[in-house]
Amino acid sequence: MTGDNQDEIKAAGAWAKATYEAIVSRYGLKYEQYQKNGGDGAPMCAIHHVPMKLVDGKRGPFYSCHERDSEGNWCSYRPKEHAV
């Protein structure tokens, strides 16, 4: 938020925080929804806290996180071992 009036900036910040808290209390956080809806035995990405997707790669199936980092690259996290 930017502006010249500090009181308006504080009011906007308070509104944003209250709105965020209301949304989280009603719908929960993204990773909580994934955990509730997961249950297929897929490992969780330790970075993004979402279930990983089973991908059929050139060298066989593997689990991959389908989130991107701040530079737009795919997540590089790989579980140590997980039976496919």
| Residue 58 near residue 36 (C-beta atoms within 8 A) | no
What is residue 7's predicted lDDT score, i.e. its pLDDT?
Answer: 93
Q: How many domains does the chain fold into?
A: 2
Q: Which domain holds residue 58?
A: 39-84
| Model confidence at 30: pLDDT above 90 | no
Could you tell me if 43 and 32 lie in one domain?
no
Q: Is the pLDDT of residue 34 over 50?
A: no
In this structure, are residues 48 and 67 in contact, taking their beta carbons and an 8 Å threshold? yes
> Does the pLDDT of residue 13 top 50, yes or no?
yes
Instruction: Indicate if 66 and 47 belong to the same structural domain.
Output: yes
Same domain, 51 and 17: no
Model confidence pLDDT, tens digit, residues 39-82: 567 888 889 988 888 888 898 888 899 899 889 999 999 887 65
The band of 2, judged by pLDDT with boundaries at 50, 70 and 90, is confident
pTM of the model: 0.46
